[in-house]
Structure 1
Amino acid sequence: MNNNDIIRRIRYTFDFSDAKMIEIFGLAGRDVTRAQVSDWLKKEDDPESKELDDEHLAVFLNGLINDKRGKKEGPQPEPEKRLNNNIIFRKLKIALNLKDEDILDMLDMVDFRLSKHELSAFFRNPSQSQYRDCKDQILRNFLHGMQLKYHDGAHE
């Protein structure tokens, strides 16, 4: 999955306006313009579309955590320069204050089965032997389940 697709899905799921998107970046200490946000949200086939780099997606996800959970005291976490699906998944889990059961329920909503052990492997330290890479298919299904839960209101 590419970063632009991820941010588009999050925006749609929570029905964020451009102003809210800008505010979320600001909550993580990054000022962005409406034009930047607009270009990142355009479909890939639009000539005005701009690629959202890992660092800006990390800033957005950090801002989403601050928006949903409140800002922590002290210095804010530095945004990662490189992201992978595991980090994106973890940040969304934190932002939405999800327990493993919540995630498994959301995956169930899109008919995607995963065991608790398989799920926990995505959130382990990469140096652990039980660590597993989160594939695009799993992140895509999670984002779809997130949309069903938070946008379409299947489980309010």
Structure 2
Amino acid sequence: MHNNDIVRRLQYIFNINSKDMMTIFKLGGLVLDKQAYLAIMAKPDQDSARDAQLSRHDLEKFMNGLIISQRGHKTNPDGSIVAPDYSMQRDNDINNVVIKKIKIAMAYTTDDLLGFWEAADFKVTKGEVGAMLRRKSHPKYLVVGDQFMRKLLMGMANSLRG
């Protein structure tokens, strides 16, 4: 699954207009002009690289911006803003991190995620969801494949857009 496909699908699912999308990117630390934004949002060729239009790091900036737009900046007890984390170190981290950040941004529960997969007729257990959300260093960590990601986004679209 291409990185920009995730962004495009989230824009559709949450019905976010282009101006707000550019604001979300900016909140995450990526300032785009209209042309760069349109290039990111263009449908990719099937045979192009996963990060041809949107790098892994820029996707994570978007996800961080989504969290900030929905929940505000995370602050320390002294009131200073905590810098967003960047945990997409490898390509196989992308789907896990995106699911975690969607869950955080929209304040979804594990049951919400299970409901989205169910709406896409895809069987996922509570244990699998827990394994997806664990730290990479945990022995029971489950790397999320593209099919899990596609089905989650499809279920979100079915549930939230009808």
Letter in 2 for 1:20: D
Normalising by the residue count of structure 1, what TM-score does the alignment of the two structures yield?
0.88
Alpha-carbon shift at residue 72 of structure 1 (Å): 1.8
Matched, 1:108 2:118: yes
**Helix, strand or coil at the partner of 1:13:** helix
Give the stretch that moved more between structures: 54-63 or 12-21: 12-21
Matched, 1:76 2:78: no
Letter in 2 for 1:134: V
Q: Which residue of 2 aligns with 1:22?
A: 22
Alpha-carbon shift at residue 81 of structure 1 (Å): 5.7
Q: What percent identity do the matched residue pairs reach?
A: 33
Normalising by the residue count of structure 2, what TM-score does the alignment of the two structures yield?
0.85
Residues 37/80 of structure 1: CA separation in 2 closer, same or farther (3 Å cut): farther
Residues 76/55 of structure 1: CA separation in 2 closer, same or farther (3 Å cut): same
Q: How many residues align?
A: 148
Contact 1:18 1:34 survives alignment (8 Å): no
Gaps of 5+ in 1: none
Residues 32/78 of structure 1: CA separation in 2 closer, same or farther (3 Å cut): farther
Letter in 1 for 2:95: N
Aligned CA RMSD, in angstroms, stands at: 1.5
Residues 147/81 of structure 1: CA separation in 2 closer, same or farther (3 Å cut): same
Equivalent-residue separation in structure 2 for 1:110 and 1:40 (angstroms): 26
